Chains A and B, each alone.
Chain A
Amino acid sequence: MPFKALALILVLPALVACSTTSTPSSRDNGQAENLLQALNQWSPALEKHDTKPSDDLQALTSVRLENPAQAQALALRQSPAIRAILASQGIADAAYRQATLINNPGFSASALRAEDTGSWKTEFGLNLGILDWLTLPMRKQLAGAELSRARSQALQMLTEELGGVRIAYFSAVGARHLSRQLQQTAEAARLNAELAGQLNQAGNLSELERLQYVDASARQQQALQQALAEADARLAELKRSVGLGVSQQLEIPDELPDIVESGLTAATLQALLQHDEGFDTLLNQASAQRPDVRLLRDSRMALEQQLELQQKQLGMSEIGVGLITERESDGSRASGLELDLSLPVFDQGQHQRARSQAQLEQLSANEAMLQLAMVHQLETSLNNLLSLTRQATQLRDEDIPRQQRMLELTLQEYNFMLTGPFELIEAKQQELETVVRYIGILEHYWLEHANLMQHTANAAEAPVAESDSPAQPQRPAEPVHHQEHHHD
């Protein structure tokens, strides 16, 4: 099944569910809402025990991911961690339904035999908890709030998990990009060492000088091996985060996307940092949609309702009415009503209410703390992105072209026997090392961009231009490309 279709399966029903599934409280629109709707959509599937990964995905031998959105889509379908989060919704939903039920009425029966007459005295009673009836609407509200809180909690976990997938994606692509670049750097050092060997063999270069070049080459090879191992480890982490098995191949792009694909220019970032309207919009968006904010808000609402319920219970933990009928041993019958209640003499529920009240205050403070943290997170993230944008732009537009020009000029000097072949190759190495620095900045940029998306609750949005043809899973029948590693 093409992944585009998979994405539609994930999203469209969620939108439909939005109109058919009653939610405990009204929600803002946005991606977080979509995720929540997606969770709602997944719940029935869970009820049908459809929690196992798709067979067709399980059967895949090779998957190619072109961008982080595809990685997230795959994780939604395949990751056990995400399935566990989604499964928790079934628990929350059942708890909600359970909480909205009326307690079953109590039935009692007794039979007593008189010793002297040998006749039986029987007694039947039916009682029902009045308090249960009286507080049903309130309890429903409370359960709804609890369900909402559970969903927010799941949403937060899901968002974090998907954010983690994004980070794993860029880490893996970045490591791959770097290792490929270091292959060239190592190759340049190897060429220098080989040239030194030829010169030494011809009697033109001392053993000491030759060994210096060999040593430099060995260090570059070591750096390459480390980079390749790191690339393998990060690819494995990405596979784990999207739920692929060890035997399944995962193909990813060779290079990180350019920063322009984020759509964020230095000017935009600078304006945001000057707290223009855009900054407020981002902050409002984060306040409205961040799962952790929602979780706190839902927790507070649940607690408020719990407090209201406690106040309405007036400290009575139990009120029951009953219908009793007795047949005496002499055959006479008596029927009547029974009232059963706990008298709020000692425990009037005052401490429970005080506890709830304190919890409310704690939640309120936590909300304020989170609001403050959001501003700082946003500022820090924007600052980092601005700095990284400037560095990447300088490296891409100035430093690398400068190094290329320097190489060109060094070649001209080499042509006129003004400089030697070692210096020429070293000029190439300088250029390659500048590209290595660029890749490092690029990776930092995309990781910081992922952080920004987390901070602004856009974790599931695709920051980079999505491919028109998303991941094309390969069937076993098709040729399998083993492109995970390029050690050559």
Chain B
Amino acid sequence: MAKIIFITSDSEKIELEATSGSVMELAVQNGVQGIDGDCGGVCSCATCHVHVAPEHFAKTGPASEIEQDMLELDDDANEYSRLCCQIEVSEQLDGVVLHVAK
């Protein structure tokens, strides 16, 4: 079980728990504002963009090359950006804080 904390662009804090699946799926299932996941998690739509809290970046690790290619053209992207459909839920994520980009 990992606790994952989303902070939306309206500064709403949403704490969720999960054991499997992707972080995007968890967010969509719980209606986290700003995470749409239009493509269902295949890294095609970039509607699940989050900024990982810098102190937690080791929990998620950096974006893959394919993710970076998508994020490179996103005006809100920074060095802590991830597409959260590409982050699998695991114990390692426990306590991670994710700021929703949109």
- Bound pair: A and B? no
Instruction: List the interface of chain A (C-beta within 8 A of B).
Output: none
